């Protein structure tokens, strides 16, 4: 059975909108050894592409568990697309300055806290 592109777009639209409403997508038929739909996702300056096999699309239309699995793979692709690693923090130890009498200062006043 051939993939109906409009049905696939409607399914993908609902799944992608449930993840992030700002994500733009386009779908095109993918032919080859595993026919399906090629999806291009973009958000701001980030872009990603993925191919969803025909079997997975047909199963997602009928089974809610397969639909959740497809949503998870779309969300994973969007998260990878928008991921920006943090700057590496230096692990160098900062040494305290040496003062008279060593590193630690002598406690001023008494321990009872009288004024």
| Strand ranges inside 7-88, DSSP E | 24-30, 36-43, 46-53
- Inter-CA distances, 26 with 14, 33, 47, 65, Å: 13, 21, 11, 24
Confidence at residue 1, expressed as pLDDT on a 0 to 100 scale: 45
Who's near 66: CB < 8 A, 6+ residues apart?
56, 59, 60
Sign of the Cα pseudo-torsion (63, 69, 70, 72, in order): positive
Confidence at residue 110, expressed as pLDDT on a 0 to 100 scale: 62
Low-confidence spans in the chain with pLDDT less than 50: 1
Confidence at residue 109, expressed as pLDDT on a 0 to 100 scale: 62
């Amino acid at each position: 059975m051939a993939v109906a592109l409009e049905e696939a777009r409607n399914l993908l639209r609902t799944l992608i909108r449930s993840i992030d409403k700002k994500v733009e997508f386009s779908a095109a038929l993918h032919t080859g050894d595993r026919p399906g739909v090629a999806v291009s996702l973009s958000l701001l300056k980030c872009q990603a592409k993925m191919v969803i096999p025909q079997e997975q699309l047909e199963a997602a239309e009928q089974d809610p568990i397969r639909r959740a699995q497809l949503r998870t793979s779309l969300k994973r692709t969007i998260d990878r697309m928008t991921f920006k690693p943090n700057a590496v923090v230096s692990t160098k130890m900062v040494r305290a300055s040496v003062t008279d009498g060593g590193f630690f200062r002598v406690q001023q006043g008494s321990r009872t806290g009288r004024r």
